[in-house]
């Protein structure tokens, strides 16, 4: 079972939430910039690809903006919502029908043009073409005139009904309901319309596109006054009216999902509201701990890698146990139990805010995920004063890599640089942090941090490639690093080391000798 904390696909095309602490091979997500929004995607689309329904290319229709208005009715256990979707036709041909999916219990009541003209539509509850256990409502809206290539339009879709999770489809964390205690509106449960065909492969393709490109959202949720709506975006307003309150949020970075959590939250935030924790009652001590950890890690990364530009904040949102911990671009949803535990997952996510966009066509995710997986341990060890945590974490990642090689024997013969092309970026979460640890040890802490700082200065806005990253480390450290690059990035000798009896310390010694030699030869 693949465990990931964003969009996650197992071999059957099932979505999973990230589950556990270090014990499982964890992967994430976490795209921080327009181009870098690329998801960890375990078994590759190829297992389920090519099953477009009705011939709509999900990558051909791009979402540009989603204005989502939701009004839950706790009494009835239902919601009423309106989505205004601004979409662009990038398919290269005329489009006459827009296909979208929704949770099967949500019923569409109207579809309109942006100027209020009613459009014809059909809706039908169907199983996903490639995942029969997952039923969705397939909505097809007939446009009043064909959408020409390169043109965008806005469509308004009104819908209402209940949410009934997807536990019966084998996704235990999707317990999503509309209720007084806790309500969550999220992508995973198709709680709002997603422009794609009713096929898991198309859904994943369109999410992958969104992760790479992003869109804007405006979220407006109206709740009774004693409730709080939590979202990772920027809070634009809270309007009181007749005993209700409407929360308005907008995304701070290009988005690929909208999460709205509704409960009687308490909120802790720092002075300038750049770090925020939404917590469920009774958990103030843990919330303060999380807030402190969030601020501490942001300070730490700023010091190491340079200040962060253009980020208005980061939020931690507590969700009840069982709902899955997940990460978005500027927030994480954290299960109650994770609130009490170590902060490594938080440190991992926060580090992604510093990642430049990737310019690799098929990113290996090494320099984002590999680094984040290394930093999550390093920060626990350093900031939380937990000696031995890094070593323990790396050992688990090594075991994770070995397990991945058992289930996918050719993995050991695939280089890190090829992980993207060969659909095995999951190994950037296992071999990746070990490679980063080696690099950190070989070049020394100062040069290691400076290298990433320089990489961000050079590539922060325009983006960079794995090759750019390696060239930067080489130049900043003044070391040759050829053998390291040959064995860990562009070759696979590293797999032999990880599968052998050598300790990581012994592996390090291989390069300590080498960098010493190269220093000699430079002299
Ligand atoms: Zn990550």
Q: State the distance from the centre of ligand 1 to the C-alpha of 352, rounded, in angstroms.
A: 7
Q: State the distance from the centre of ligand 1 to the C-alpha of 28, rounded, in angstroms.
A: 4
Residues 484, 489, 490: CA angle, nearest 5 degrees = 105
At 177, list the tokens. Answer: 């309901």
Distance between CA 298 and CA 312 in Å, rounded?
12
Q: How big, in percent rounded to 5, are the helix, strand and coil portions of the chain?
A: 35, 25, 35
Q: State the distance from the centre of ligand 1 to the C-alpha of 443, rounded, in angstroms.
A: 24
Q: Is residue 91 a contact partner of residue 238, using CB atoms and an 8 Å limit?
A: no
Please list the pLDDT of the chain residue by residue as tens digits (523 residues): 222 233 322 222 222 223 222 223 333 433 222 222 223 332 223 222 223 333 344 568 999 999 999 999 999 999 999 999 999 999 999 999 999 999 999 999 999 999 999 999 999 999 999 999 999 999 999 999 999 999 999 999 999 999 999 999 989 999 999 999 999 999 999 999 999 999 998 898 888 778 767 899 999 999 999 999 999 999 999 999 999 999 999 998 889 999 999 999 999 998 888 899 999 977 899 899 999 999 999 999 999 999 987 667 899 999 999 998 888 888 989 888 878 888 898 899 889 889 888 888 888 989 989 999 999 999 999 998 899 999 999 999 999 999 999 999 999 999 999 998 888 888 999 999 999 999 999 999 999 999 999 999 998 778 899 999 999 999 999 999 999 999 999 999 999 999 999 999 999 999 976 655 444 433 3
Q: What is the dihedral of CA 486, 489, 491, 496, to 10 degrees?
A: 100
Q: State the distance from the centre of ligand 1 to the C-alpha of 106, rounded, in angstroms.
A: 32
DSSP string, 324-382: -BEE-SSEEEEEHHHHHS-SHHHHHHHHGGGPPPB--SS---IIIIIHHHHHHHHHHHH
Q: State the distance from the centre of ligand 1 to the C-alpha of 405, rounded, in angstroms.
A: 21
Q: State the distance from the centre of ligand 1 to the C-alpha of 166, rounded, in angstroms.
A: 25
Distance between CA 478 and CA 291 in Å, rounded?
38
pLDDT in tens, 265-281: 999 998 888 899 999 97
Q: State the distance from the centre of ligand 1 to the C-alpha of 105, rounded, in angstroms.
A: 32
Distance between CA 60 and CA 80 in Å, rounded?
29
pLDDT in tens, 304-325: 999 987 667 899 999 999 998 8
Residues whose CB falls within 8 Å of the CB of residue 118, separated by 6 or more in sequence, listed in order: 110, 111, 112
Beta bridge partners of 154: 86
DSSP-derived pairing of the beta strands 78-89 and 152-161: antiparallel
Distance between CA 21 and CA 338 in Å, rounded?
8
Distance between CA 208 and CA 425 in Å, rounded?
14
Q: State the distance from the centre of ligand 1 to the C-alpha of 282, rounded, in angstroms.
A: 29
pLDDT in tens, 380-400: 999 988 999 999 999 999 999
Beta bridge partners of 219: 68, 249
Distance between CA 303 and CA 291 in Å, rounded?
18
């Amino acid at each position: 079972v693949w465990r990931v904390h964003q969009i996650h696909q197992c071999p059957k095309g099932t979505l999973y939430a990230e589950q556990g602490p270090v014990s499982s091979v964890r992967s994430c997500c976490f795209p921080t910039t327009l181009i870098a929004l690329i998801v960890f995607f375990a078994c590759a689309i190829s297992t389920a690809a090519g099953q477009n329904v009705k011939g709509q290319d999900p990558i051909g229709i791009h979402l540009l903006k989603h204005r989502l208005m939701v009004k839950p009715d706790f009494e009835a256990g239902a919601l009423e919502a309106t989505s205004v979707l601004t979409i662009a036709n990038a398919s290269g041909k005329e489009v006459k029908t827009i296909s979208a999916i929704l949770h099967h219990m949500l019923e569409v009541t109207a579809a309109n043009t942006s100027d209020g003209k009613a459009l014809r539509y059909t809706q039908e509850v169907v199983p996903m073409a490639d995942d029969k256990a997952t039923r969705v409502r397939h909505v097809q809206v007939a446009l009043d005139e064909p959408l020409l290539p390169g043109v965008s339009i806005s469509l308004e879709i009104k819908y209402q009904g209940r949410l009934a999770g997807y536990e019966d489809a084998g996704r235990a964390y999707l317990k999503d309901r509309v209720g007084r205690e806790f309500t969550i509106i999220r992508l995973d449960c198709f709680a709002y319309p997603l422009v794609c065909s009713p096929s898991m492969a198309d859904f994943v393709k369109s999410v992958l596109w969104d992760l790479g490109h992003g869109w804007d959202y405006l979220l407006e949720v109206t709740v009774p006054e004693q409730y709080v709506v939590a979202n990772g975006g920027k809070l634009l307003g809270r309007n009181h009216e007749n005993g209700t309150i409407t929360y308005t949020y907008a995304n701070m970075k290009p988005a690929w999902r909208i999460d709205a959590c509704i409960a009687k939250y308490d909120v802790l935030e720092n002075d300038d509201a750049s770090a925020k924790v939404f917590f469920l009652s009774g958990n103030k001590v843990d919330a303060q701990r999380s807030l402190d950890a969030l601020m501490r890690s942001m300070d730490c990364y700023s010091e190491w890698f340079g200040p962060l530009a253009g980020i208005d904040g980061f939020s931690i949102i507590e969700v009840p146990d069982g709902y899955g911990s997940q990460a978005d671009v500027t927030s994480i949803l954290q299960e109650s139990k994770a609130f009490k535990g170590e902060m490594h997952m938080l440190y991992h996510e926060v580090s992604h805010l510093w990642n430049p966009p990737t310019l690799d066509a098929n990113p290996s995710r090494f320099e984002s995920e590999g680094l984040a997986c290394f930093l999550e341990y390093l920060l626990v060890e350093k900031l939380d004063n937990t000696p031995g945590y890094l070593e323990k974490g790396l050992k688990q990642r090594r075991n994770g890599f070995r397990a991945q090689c058992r289930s996918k024997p050719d993995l050991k013969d695939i280089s890190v640089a090829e992980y993207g092309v060969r659909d095995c970026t999951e190994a950037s979460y296992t071999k990746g942090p070990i490679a980063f640890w080696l690099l950190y040890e070989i070049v020394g802490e100062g040069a290691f941090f400076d290298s990433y700082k320089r990489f961000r200065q050079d590539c922060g806005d325009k983006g960079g490639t794995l090759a750019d990253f390696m060239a930067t480390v080489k130049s900043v450290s003044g070391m040759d690093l050829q053998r390291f690059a040959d064995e860990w990035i562009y070759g696979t000798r590293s797999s032999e080391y990880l599968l052998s009896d050598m300790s990581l310390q012994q592996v390090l010694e291989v390069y300590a000798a080498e960098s010493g030699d190269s220093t000699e030869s430079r002299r």
